[in-house]
Amino acid sequence: MKFFWKTARAIAILSIIVATLQPRIVSSEIAAKEQLKETALETAQEHYNNGFVKFQMGNYKEAIREFQAALTIDPNNEEIYKNLGRAKFKLGDYPGAIEEYTRAIEINNSNPRFYNYRGNAKTQLKDHRGAIADYSLAIKLQPDFALAYYNRANARKKLKDRRGAIEDYTLAIKFKPDYALALHNRGNTYYQQKEYLKAIADYTKAIEINPNFVGTYNNRGYSKFRLKDYTGAIADFKRAIAIFPSYAPAYTNLGIVLNKQGKTQEALDNFSKAIELNPKDAAAYFNRGVTLNKLGKKDPAIEDIKQAGKLAKQQGNLALQTEAEKIVSRLIRN
């Protein structure tokens, strides 16, 4: 009887010990699992960091490998998908980039930058309406997103919606007053609308923000040329050349204005300089050819204008190609 009691007591004590120890065993297993998870996430972070460094170095293929390795460990991380998309975008894989940005959006549909990135990839594929839809979603999520307004403006401009583009450039500038590129592009749009004074005003503001904005001096000079302000145009073209002596368009445009002033030889020198800097400058060949023809140098004029037409065709400039071919035909007949 005593033996049975002792045995039962021993069993009871043992049960209490087991019951007491059991939770500790479970906790230990959970802790081990958590530790493995943390270790895996640390490895994912390491791959992600390596990918980011490779991306910054311009090694996009290696960056993609690192980001993909990170995703095998942490498959629900929208930031990794975003940066994988950015790397594919840099390599020109725009459909692949769209796929990655879409995955990021599926995980987190409240980040406006994901839509902006996807819009950029759609723009590269000339899906301008799709791009506009994405930029609009980005703006809906972040109404002061200046870059999204700017990108939507560019897409609208591609669809010939210049007024819509101007509205978006204006909003981009409202939310980012020092947005020189938005001012520059709004100026370009005003120029296309033949609103030259408004274009000049925007170019001038852009130059105040960025005094070394070569293209803006060039475009302001051409707007002044359209208003017959030849002195102002020449000053802007020369300023562009002073900042960037290898900027061929400024030499071409300077030659055009000098021609208007009757300074033929100076004009020819500038056209030739433009061609030297950029042998594919169709406008420079065309204007040099026309100028040579005025001087009675028919044969070299025909050669230059032919070359202009050939380059214009390669570059998809139908208007210049047609004009060059028409002049060449007339010169040959005469």
- Can you give 259-321 as a three-state secondary structure string? HHCCCHHHHHHHHHHHHHHCCCCHHHHHHHHHHHHHCCCHHHHHHHHHHHHHHHHHCCCHHHH
All residues at 6 or more sequence positions from 55 whose CB lies less than 8 Å from its CB, including other chains: 63, 83, 86, 87, 90
Distance CA 121, CA 258 (A): 42
CA 10 from centroid of its chain's CA atoms = 78
pTM: 0.83
Q: Is residue 320 part of a domain?
A: yes
Q: For position 210, what pLDDT does the model report? A: 96
Distance CA 276, CA 289 (A): 15
pLDDT of 72 strictly over 80: yes
pLDDT of 161 strictly over 50: yes
CA 276 from centroid of its chain's CA atoms = 29
Which pair of structure tokens corresponds to residue 108?
């987190």
Other residues' Cβ atoms within 10 Å of the Cβ of residue 29: 10
Residues in the chain: 334
Q: For position 315, what pLDDT does the model report? A: 95
- Measured torsion, CA atoms of residues 10, 11, 13, 14, in degrees rounded to the nearest 10: 110
* Residues of the domain holding 287: 247-334
What is the rounded average pLDDT of the residues 201-228?
97
Q: What CATH number is associated with residue 327?
A: 1.25.40.10
Whether the Cβ atoms of residue 294 and residue 264 lie closer than 8 Å to each other: yes
Which pair of structure tokens corresponds to residue 87?
């790397």
What is the rounded average pLDDT of the residues 91-116?
98
Whether the Cβ atoms of residue 120 and residue 89 lie closer than 8 Å to each other: yes
pLDDT of 32 strictly over 80: no
What is the rounded average pLDDT of the residues 281-308?
96
pLDDT of 175 strictly over 70: yes
Provide the domain count of the chain: 1
Distance CA 267, CA 288 (A): 8
pLDDT band at 334 (very low <50, low <70, confident <90, very high): confident
The mean of the pLDDT values for the chain is 90
Q: For position 44, what pLDDT does the model report? A: 84
Quick one: CA dihedral 179, 182, 187, 190, positive or negative? Answer: negative
What is the rounded average pLDDT of the residues 149-176?
98
> What is the per-residue DSSP string for 180-201?
HHHHHHHHHHHHHTT-HHHHHH
pLDDT of 261 strictly over 50: yes
pLDDT of 149 strictly over 90: yes
Q: For position 20, what pLDDT does the model report? A: 38
| Of 38 and 283, the one with more pLDDT | 283
All residues at 6 or more sequence positions from 238 whose CB lies less than 8 Å from its CB, including other chains: 250, 254
Whether the Cβ atoms of residue 288 and residue 271 lie closer than 8 Å to each other: yes
Q: For position 117, what pLDDT does the model report? A: 98
